[in-house]
């Protein structure tokens, strides 16, 4: 049997609560009977991450949480960084394959293309530095 509990949320944090309720409603098409279960899952996940970090005597490593086939999968910050690096390198490769087509672009479009290439290069450098710092 379920039991109602009440908590107070600071007005600055209220947006998070509304986002969580919207997430639950989008996932299940309703909030009634499932909101509490999803909140308990979120709290369990938080506690497990905290306990894992406490056992290692350090702050919890940032994790990306994603849902897959109803289970929760944690990906380490390092693993996500490698995934992001691969995506950036792939995007840069696609842009380099378009070099011949760039010459046909208008000056404004070519400027945007160059800015995109520069931004991807900077992003790649940032991610590579972050990965190196984690080693």
Instruction: For helices 107-134 and 77-97, give the axis angle rounded to 10 degrees.
Output: 150
CA distances from 30 to 20, 21, 27, 33 (A): 12, 9, 8, 8
Task: Please state, in angstroms and rounded to a whole number, the distance separating the CA atoms of residues 97 and 90.
Answer: 11
Domain ranges of the chain: 7-58, 79-134
Each residue's pLDDT tens digit in the chain (135 positions)?
678 888 888 888 888 899 999 998 998 899 888 888 888 888 888 787 777 766 765 555 555 555 554 555 667 777 788 888 888 888 888 888 887 788 888 899 889 988 998 999 999 999 888 888 876
pTM: 0.46
Q: What is the pLDDT of residue 133?
A: 81
Task: Please state, in angstroms and rounded to a whole number, the distance separating the CA atoms of residues 2 and 4.
Answer: 7
CB 95 within 8 A of CB 116: yes
Question: Three-class SS of residue 17?
Answer: helix
Tokens 């530095």 — which residue? 129
């Amino acid at each position: 049997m379920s039991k109602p509990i009440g908590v107070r949320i600071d007005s600055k944090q209220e947006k998070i609560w509304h986002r969580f309720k919207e997430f639950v409603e989008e996932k299940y098409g309703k909030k009634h009977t499932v909101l509490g279960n999803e909140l308990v899952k979120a709290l369990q996940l938080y506690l497990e991450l905290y306990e894992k970090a406490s056992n290692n005597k350090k702050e919890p490593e940032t994790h990306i949480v994603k849902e897959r086939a109803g289970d929760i999968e944690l990906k380490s910050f390092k693993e996500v960084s490698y995934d992001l690096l691969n995506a950036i390198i792939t995007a840069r490769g696609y842009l380099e394959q378009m070099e011949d087509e760039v010459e046909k672009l208008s000056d404004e479009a070519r400027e945007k293309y160059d800015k995109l290439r520069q931004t991807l290069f900077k992003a790649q450098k940032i991610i590579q530095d972050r990965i190196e710092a984690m080693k």
